[in-house]
Amino acid sequence: MEPKASIRGLPVYKPGKPLEEVRREFGLSEVIKLASNENPFGCSPKVWPALGKIKEQFHIYPEGLAPDLREKLAHHLETDPERIIFGNGSDEIIQMIGRAYLELGSESVMADLTFPRYETATRIEGAKPVKVPLKDGVHDLQAMLGAITDQTRIVWICNPNNPTGTIVSYEELSRFLDQVPDHVLVVVDEAYYEYVTDSEYPNTLSLLDYNPQIIVLRTFSKIYGLAAFRVGYGVAHPDVVRELNRVREPFNVSRLAQQAAIAALDDEPFILYCRNQNRLGIKQITEQLDEWNLHYYPPSGNFILLDTTMPADDVYQELLQQGIIVRSGAALGFPSYIRVTVGNEEQNKRFLYAFRKLL
């Protein structure tokens, strides 16, 4: 029995190697994972006590529309609750967008290289991914505009881009949005939004107010430190939210996840602390890379794509043996680069120490 043609040969997504697997494989007691852009400071201490409050409701399905979380988040973002949709991670919203807007014969435009789930969501629907090369590691919005055809339904913009960490500015994005034809939905994936400190960064939610063609994706998996719970969200025109709700699984975000996210939103000082620590971590790592004269893309998220000047898979393996999990750029289309999540000070030190041995 053959699967449908559009998914034949689709690579199985391989996320960063799990800590336990590396401990077992290499007989190491201490392993650090800097491979999946998780928050090295965990989540807010307010999350754990909040979970106890719902222990009497573990046997009851969660509310799919997540009304309490929706209200809280709408207030936090200063937007309307009916503009928000939640997913089992923003991964699921990417999939919902594909389900709702793509079909056989349609196209979606994305950067080459960017977050691979856009291509997967496109191919699952039998649609065609159209890839536009990055220019100096940054989305080439003019070329992406040029790639739009009558069949295009979606343009994916990952901002900051994973894996390069680069951003498109407010001016570039708003100029782009002005020119996008009406039959195209623009997805701006801002999974790393809360880490960005660049003043050029677009206030994308304000752009939404006058443009019903955008959906902005964000997540509780990164700076909020709730990756294990799987909760992400999209903010868009209520019409777009209505279409996505048609294809959403009914109980897609667990009760625990909703409760955890509510508690996490109550701890703004924790987020500011993590953002600040991340900035210091970027400085700690990039100063050393500068000293070694190694190229890296200007990081705006919590990860750095750096040129090791060696085959990335070899560097990845050598670091694994020293108990440090990073992401090899080989699978991401950067054969001599590795992508390293910014850890805490000690983890960064250990990474730099281990990496130095390979130079």
> Would you say 187 or 354 has its CB closer to ligand PMP?
187
Q: How far is the CB of 232 from ligand PMP (least distance, A)?
A: 3
> Would you say 66 or 354 has its CB closer to ligand PMP?
66
> Would you say 260 or 354 has its CB closer to ligand PMP?
260
221 binds ligand PMP per the rule CB under 6 A:
yes
81 binds ligand PMP per the rule CB under 6 A:
no
| Contact call for residues 152 and 183 (beta carbons, < 8 A) | yes
Q: Where are the beta strands (DSSP E) in the chain?
A: 32-33, 84-87, 107-112, 128-133, 152-158, 185-189, 214-219, 232-236, 303-307, 324-325, 327-328, 337-341
281 binds ligand PMP per the rule CB under 6 A:
no
225 binds ligand PMP per the rule CB under 6 A:
no
With residue 256 as reference, give the H or E element that holds it.
Answer: helix 255-265
> Would you say 220 or 316 has its CB closer to ligand PMP?
220
Of 81, 98, 129, 232, the one binding ligand PMP by CB under 6 A: 232
Interaction mask 176-195, ligand PMP, x per CB under 6 A:
-------------x-x----
Strands in 337-341's sheet, in edge-to-edge order, are 303-307, 337-341, 327-328
As a whole number of angstroms, the distance between CA 166 and CA 176 comes to 17
Q: How far is the CB of 115 from ligand PMP (least distance, A)?
A: 4
> Would you say 85 or 354 has its CB closer to ligand PMP?
85
157 binds ligand PMP per the rule CB under 6 A:
no
> Would you say 86 or 354 has its CB closer to ligand PMP?
86
Q: Where are the beta strands (DSSP E) in 47-181?
A: 84-87, 107-112, 128-133, 152-158
As a whole number of angstroms, the distance between CA 241 and CA 185 comes to 12
Q: How far is the CB of 156 from ligand PMP (least distance, A)?
A: 10
- Which residues, listed in sequence order, are joined to residue 296 by a DSSP beta bridge? 306
158 binds ligand PMP per the rule CB under 6 A:
yes
Q: What DSSP state is assigned to residue 306?
A: E
If binding means CB under 6 A, how many residues of this protein chain bind ligand PMP? Answer: 13
What ranges in 184-237 are assigned the alpha helix state H?
A: 204-208
Q: How many Cα neighbours within 13 Å face the side chain of 123?
A: 18
Q: How far is the CB of 196 from ligand PMP (least distance, A)?
A: 13
Q: Site residues for ligand PMP, window 285-314 (CB under 6 A)?
A: none
Backbone φ, ψ for residue 203 (5° rounding): -85, 85
Q: How far is the CB of 91 from ligand PMP (least distance, A)?
A: 3
Q: What is the DSSP string of 1-25?
A: -PPPGGGTTPPPP--SPPHHHHHHH
Residues contributing to the site for ligand PMP (CB under 6 A): 37, 89-91, 115, 158, 162, 189, 191, 219, 221, 227, 232
